Structures are given as C-alpha cells and as structure tokens.
Amino acid sequence: MASDATLPAAAAVTTRPAPADPTMSPEAMRRLQALALAQRRRRRLQAWLPWLVIIGMFVIWEAGVRAFNVQQFVLPAPSAIAESMVKWWVPLLDNSWQTLMTTLIGFFLAVIFGLLLGVAIGSSSLLYHGLYPLLIGFNSVPKVAVVPILVIWFGIGTVPAVITAFMISFFPIVVNVATGIATVEPELRDVLRALGAKPSDIIRKVGLPRAMPYFFASLKIAITVAFVGSIIAETVAANKGIGHLMILASSRFDVPLVFAGLIVTAVMGVAMYVAAVAIENRTTGWAMRGQNDQQITVPGV
C-alpha cells in the first residue's frame, strides 16, 4: 500500500499510475511526460474557455451594433451598457442586493420544505400517490398569474417576491429528493432490513445519502429559477429590486440600463450556480467518480 498519491482505479484505463520507477525507460518516461503536458494544456484551455467565449460574444455584439448602426433603444452596444452601469452603479447595486436577498430567502425556504416533503413522499408511496397530483397542479400554475393575488394578500413589497421565488424553486427540489429516495436499490435496503433496521434507520443511512446527488443537482436548477421568480414578482409589483429597476428604466426608454439590469441578474445567477456546484463537489464527490479522475501523474512534474 505505498501508492497513495496515485489515481483511483477508474483512471487506470487511460494510463498507469507512475510512481518514481527507476527501471522505466527514458523513452517511456518522455512519452508519459508529453502526455501529462498535453493534458495540462487542455485543462488550462478548459479553464479559460468560458471567459474567451463571453468576451468573444461581447466583441461580436459591439462590432455588429456599430457595423449595422443599430439604434440604441433597439439594441445598445456593450460599451453603452457598461457606461450606463458606471453611471447608475449605486441604484444597480442597491436593487440587485434587494433581489439577491429576496431570492436567497425564497430559495432557502424552498430547500427546507423541499427536503422535508421530498423525504416524506419519497419514502411513503401512500403520501406520494396522495400528494403528487396536487404538486403537479401547483407547479403548472403560471407564477406570474399568482403575483397579483399575493399582492392582494401581502401588499406590494418584498414578501410577494420571496414567495414567488419559493414557489418556483420548490418543485424541482421535491421531485429530485423524492426520486433519489424512492429509487434506492432493493439490495441496499435488504442489507439494512436483514439487520433489523427500522424504516427511519433505512432513510437515514441509505435513503438520504443516496438522494444527495439528486438534491444538489436540483439545487442548481432551483437557484436559477428562484431568480426568475423574484424578478417576475418585482416587475409586476414591487418598489425595489432589479426587476423593478428594469421596468422603470424601460418606461423611460433607457434601454442600456435595462440591459445593465439583465447582465447584473445573469452574473448573480451564475455566481449562485457556481456556489451550488462547489458545494455539490465537496459533499457528493463519490457520485462524480470517473469524471475528475482522469489525470496523469508523472514523478517530479
């Protein structure tokens, strides 16, 4: 058991692990190093690629707007949007903070209730059959149609936005957690049942851990749609938030500011998504095997 820094079995398909082996021929060593180098280059490219694509998109956009002389109130150039961002940075920051907070509150409520309900309907087929049609119906209702009702109940402000974000991000979490728990392999369940485990033991020791990859996959969806929810509510009825700001800006035909709002929203969405992925990788690495393992190690490199 001397091979500690080497790779797991999955990666052994591509190359063998390379402990400092003095008997290795220089030729083989060189080939291995070349492979490792090529792979590192590939990784570096992979890390930079998203940025290159985004910058490329803005460059093409700018060039297109200038070449065809597009009016600013139709499609503003990125430079005009940036200018608007600098000019209005205080209200942009203020309102996006408001949106971020409402979204996160709604999202966390959805996580808590989604987990609880997901575990419940995933582990009891009675609850599943009883509640599923209602959940589907609930999810099919267009959320934008619910906002006016929420406004009647809670008035204009933060609460309708929080509730809309909650409603829209709740469903994917419930469905995924329930699926994860309901699809536990019968053999795994038998292992515990044969030991005399109680149903609650089985959920705790097998169901929940097994549902975690499903849960985190749903978080990535839920956090992005939570933004959709809160911004919908803000555009319909609010006195603060990035959605409200965009509505105000468009009513003044300040299209660059509308686009600035869109970009800020996109940045927040991506940032939350990345955070969800980071948590996912840390907690459920076991489910991702074989994707991150493909690395070649070379002694002394």
Q: Which residues of this chain interact with another protein, rule CB under 8 A?
A: 1, 8-10, 185, 187-188, 190-197, 201, 205-206, 209-210, 212, 284, 286-287, 289-290
Cβ nearer to another protein, comparing 270 with 279: 279
Cβ nearer to another protein, comparing 123 with 284: 284
* Least distance (Å) between residue 223 CB and another protein: 23
Helix, strand, or coil (residue 139): helix
Rounded Cα distance, 125 and 145, in Å: 32
* Least distance (Å) between residue 206 CB and another protein: 7
* Least distance (Å) between residue 115 CB and another protein: 17
Length of the chain: 301
* Least distance (Å) between residue 194 CB and another protein: 5
DSSP 239: S
Q: Give 15-80 as a DSSP string.
A: S------TTS-HHHHHHHHHHHHHHHHHHHHHHHHHHHHHHHHHHHHHHHHHHTT--TTTS--HHH
Cβ nearer to another protein, comparing 255 with 296: 296
Cβ nearer to another protein, comparing 42 with 289: 289
Cβ nearer to another protein, comparing 159 with 188: 188
* Least distance (Å) between residue 190 CB and another protein: 6
Q: Give 158-219 as a DSSP string.
A: HHHHHHHHHHHHHHHHHHHHHHHHHT--HHHHHHHHTTT--HHHHIIIIIHHHHHHHHHHHH
